Structure 1
């Protein structure tokens, strides 16, 4: 039984990440492929099934859309399109919410999840890894006493859920750890520690310039 348990777990640890990776990729491919209308399917265009055609077509459309709207004329058309959607009550709420999140997370000049930090949560003396997301908005910052920053504290092993906190800058420690390494550390529940953890140096975040009261 000990022999079986040892080698079974070894084999499971080898196959589980591979199966999970294949499953995620297949799910993504099927989801994107389902967006292709029937008249653009390979059966309608070429008379036979071509595996992966829908996925390649969706990726190509996304790329061409990016090329089209990256110039001045494209941005002007996009602005008018968003203004049109902004006049539809229900659509406006959903579209604006999704757009704000996607712009924050995926825009090249976005600041989301750019730094891994160390914070005390859920109580003092208990530390966890979080991600720096910015600073409180003007209305909130005007009600807070001192210099605060915004952080996202993910849960483990699922980092897509978590808590948004506004904490004093002095209580947040910067980590010499990449966001990818920090996410791996969180998902593994602390088992897959980054190689540099043993020689990790922590330092306080730089103090921000004071904000004039009349700006709030």
Structure 2
């Protein structure tokens, strides 16, 4: 019975977790329905709520926003909006900080999370996977001798929290591993190990 129970868990836990995450995401995105007039909402049109309509609406808003701002008129409106928000006390610091982070993470020209690296952490005799985020800036850079880099060390199994470190470049090893594979490795707590890298020029034949 124990064997059958564990087998059932191995099958159902990934399915249940996936359904729960999707339900949470869709439920959150469905909150965008408040932007529609009450007469246009599914509850008023068909008499009951339709899961996913808000998610589709959110995706449409994001797409249309990108489409409209990708021209001269849209860019002008965005610039004026930025100027307005940066002149409002309190709102200015919050908006500027969030905008800088989002520009770094989502911009196609950004360098955030572009490389997975191996660093000594939390002590000299252990190693962990981190992500290269850039180079130290501000006054901190004036107090660092030699070449240093900025890295983000995610926690397991939740990579959205972690630690920001500045390390000597010579102590950071770039890995032949994509960011997606590295994240999967971290989230799985090392259970889902990536395939070993193949040296250049060597091809492993599969039967």
> Shorter-chain-normalised TM-score: which range?
0.7 to 0.9
Superposition TM-score, scaled by structure 2 size: 0.87
Q: Partner of 1:54 in structure 2?
A: 54
Deviates more, 1:93-102 or 1:124-133: 93-102
Cα deviation, 1:23-81, whole Å, max 9, x if unaligned, reads: 1111111111112225142234x344344222211211111111001112211110111
Residue matched to 1:26: 23
**Structure 1 pair 191–64 and aligned structure 2 pair: CA distance change class (3 A):** same
Return the offset for 1:90.
2.3
Q: How many angstroms apart in 1 are the aligned matches of 2:90 and 2:148? A: 34
Superimposed CA distance per residue, residues 116-139 of structure 1 (whole angstroms, 9 cap, x where no aligned partner): 000001111211110000111143
- 1:132-147 pair list within 5 angstroms: 132-147=132-147
Alignment size in residue pairs? 196
Match of 1:36, SS state, is helix
Q: Does the aligned pair in 2 maintain the 1:185–1:191 contact within 8 Å?
A: yes
C-alpha distance in 2, partners of 1:10/1:200? 37
Q: For residue 86 of structure 1, what is the aligned residue in structure 2?
A: 86
**TM-score (normalised: structure 1):** 0.84
Q: Partners in 2 of 1:116 and 1:32 — Cα distance? A: 31
Q: How does 1:112-151 map to 2 (within 5 A)?
A: 112-151=112-151
CA distance in structure 1 between the partners assigned to 2:124 and 2:199 by the alignment: 21
Residues of 2 paired with 1:59 and 1:43: CA distance? 20
1:210 counterpart residue number: none
Whole-angstrom CA distance in 2 between matches of 1:51 and 1:172: 46
How much does 1:89 deviate?
A: 1.5
For the 8 Å contact 1:154–1:162, the answer to whether it is kept is: yes
Q: Is the 8 A contact 2:135 2:149 kept in 1?
A: yes
> Which whole-Å CA distance do the structure 2 matches of 1:51 and 1:141 have between them?
50
CA contact (8 A) 2:27 2:51 kept: no
Give the aligned partner of residue 152 of structure 1.
152
Output the CA distance in 2 between the equivalents of 1:93 and 1:47: 44
RMSD: 1.8
Structure 1 gap ranges (5+): 202-216
Between 1:127-136 and 1:30-39, the stretch displaced more is 30-39
Q: In structure 1, the residue corresponding to 2:143 is in which secondary structure?
A: coil
